[in-house]
Amino acid sequence: MLNSKTFEINQVVHDVQCYPFHDVSFQRNYILLGGENGSVCLSTYQINTNNKNSTICDISKPLFETQPTTSRITKVAFAPLQWTDFKLTFCTVDSSNSIKIYRSKQKVHLSLLSNITSSDSIEFELITNISSLHKQYINNVCFSQTDSGLHICTVSDDHRCLATNIESLESKVLYECESPLVSINLRTANEIVLGEQYPGRVLIMDLRIPYKKPVITLKPTAKNNRTQSLGLFDTDVHVTRNEWIGTAIGKEFSIFDCTNPLKPLLQQEAHTSSGCKHFRFSPPSFNASHLVFATSNQYDTVKIWDATTSEATPITFKQNYRIGGMTWTNTLTSSSDVSLRKLPCLLTGGDSKLHCYALQ
């Protein structure tokens, strides 16, 4: 069962992310939107706790918003608060390959999240503006932490993954391959997951190891060889079981267990018309045994899958516009039934709307 709601946004949304590094323990949490006109909007969202049909019921006015530019925002990402002395830190990537990193001037401790109202603002400063890192389009970005400090890790069509120290701006090549690197995920504080488009490999890199070789390589293969030529588009790491890696390859999804990397746990055709573009695991819900995730094609179709049983079954919905980013959060209800207090909710961007789909 799905409960949905749509919010009108004053710009085309190209990427969206809810703060992903903790459970939603309060009625408000942070959401970051990257838009067509180059502006970035940080808001909070309100969870409806009045009944069992829980979903996001309100998005605040911007707590922080940048001025419009001529370059659209293509990616946004948060850094864990524990790595930044509880100062909210996030980065943006735009279509000119410029990377900007913002940090709040005051500490924003998790225990204070519920005290933020729609009229509050947060003062931010631009701490880093990086350009000319990559020769071609930056496909994805994430933060990592090593003994030398906080880094921004990027992957690009130029076949390289770079790690750049946000203080010294020193960059190093973590990996270089024969085809575009299309995705990057944080697996642990010291490990990242890279997605190589062709022939479609998943590479797990340990940042503590000086040589540039993956510690684990996964090779998802589409069941239909004709769709393999579409390549790998996306990867994701399960929130609580980081040995599980999900991939979007060809027209299918695959889920691997890194402890047995030779064969996927689950593989199934997802989008027949234009390939499987995105894959996102949901956060843990009230039932730890539930395996829920979302996929999308390149255009307007999103599927939410429940793979708790042996065969995954989807709920399918279409949007009237190209999908601009996918992110999950958890809703909280005030139900006396403990099993209904924590339910996953998917948010998708695109056009000038934000769609919320809460599982019931």
Which of 52-66, 108-122, 307-321 is the most confident on average? 307-321
- Cα separations in angstroms, 25 against 77, 277, 284, 329: 21, 31, 13, 11
Q: Is the Cβ–Cβ distance between 138 and 191 less than 8 Å?
A: no
Contact present, 329 and 43 (Cβ < 8 Å): no
8 Å CB contact between 99 and 162: no
Maximum Cα–Cα distance for the chain, whole Å?
55
**In sequence order, which residues have a C-beta less than 8 Å from that of residue 12 and are 6 or more positions away?**
35, 36, 37, 72, 324, 350, 351, 352
Give dist(CA 32, CA 102) in Å, integer: 12
Residue range 81-139, pLDDT digits in tens: 889 988 999 999 999 999 999 999 988 865 544 444 444 678 999 999 998 899 899 99
- Alpha-carbon distance of 122 to 137, in angstroms, equals 31
Q: What's the pTM value of the predicted model, to 2 decimals? A: 0.89
Q: Which of 328, 326, 324 is nearest to 350 (CA)?
A: 324
CA-nearest of 106, 189, 206 to 142 is 189
pLDDT score recorded for residue 306 = 87
What are the E-state strand segments in 60-180? 64-65, 73-78, 89-94, 99-104, 124-130, 138-146, 149-156, 160-165, 171-176
Closest CA to 218 of 183, 172, 270: 183
Which pLDDT score is estimated for 21?
Answer: 78
- Read off the tokens for 87: 């100062």
- In angstroms, the Cα distances linking 237 to 27, 44, 131, 300 are 26, 25, 28, 24
Tell me whether strands 191-196 and 201-206 are parallel, antiparallel or unpaired.
antiparallel
What is the C-alpha to C-alpha distance for residues 339 and 341, in angstroms, rounded to an integer? Answer: 6
**Does residue 24 surpass a pLDDT of 50?**
no
Q: Supply φ then ψ for residue 81, to 5 degrees.
A: -60, -30
Least confident of 174-188, 190-204, 274-288: 274-288
Q: Are 62 and 24 in contact (CB under 8 A)?
A: no
Q: From its phi and psi, is residue 240 left (phi > 0), alpha (psi between -120 and 50) or beta? A: alpha
Please write the tens of the pLDDT for every residue from 282-301: 987 656 667 899 999 988 89
